[in-house]
Structure 1
Amino acid sequence: MSSTAPRPAPDFALPDQHGRTVTLGEFRGQRNVVLVFYPFAFTSVCSGELRALQDGLDALQGEDTALLAVSCDSMHAQRVFSDQEGFAFPLLSDFWPHGNASRAYGVFDEDKGCALRGSFVIDREGVIRWSVVNGLPDARDLHDYVKALEAVRSAGTGH
Structure 2
Amino acid sequence: MDEFEKAETVVIASSPDMGPAQRAFAEHCGVNYLIGAGYPNHEAAKALGVFNPDRGSYKRVSFVIDKAGVIQEVIEDREDVMEHPADALKTVQSWQ
Q: Check if 1:131 corresponds to 2:74.
A: yes
Any conservation in 2 of the 1:119–1:133 contact (CA below 8 Å)? yes
Partner amino acid, structure 1, of 2:19: M
1:16 matched to which residue of 2? Answer: none
Any conservation in 2 of the 1:107–1:133 contact (CA below 8 Å)? no
1:86 matched to which residue of 2? Answer: 30
TM-score by length of 1: 0.54
Stretches of structure 1 lacking an aligned partner (at least 5 in a row) = 1-56, 155-159
What RMSD, in angstroms, separates the aligned Cα atoms of the two structures?
1.7
Give the ranges of 4+ consecutive aligned residues of structure 1 lying more than 2 Å apart after TM superposition.
61-64
Larger strand share, 1 or 2:
1
2:39 matched to which residue of 1? Answer: 95
Stretches of structure 2 lacking an aligned partner (at least 5 in a row) = none
Q: Distance in 2 between matches of 1:147 and 1:123?
A: 13
Any conservation in 1 of the 2:64–2:88 contact (CA below 8 Å)? yes
TM-score by length of 2: 0.86
2:56 matched to which residue of 1? Answer: 113
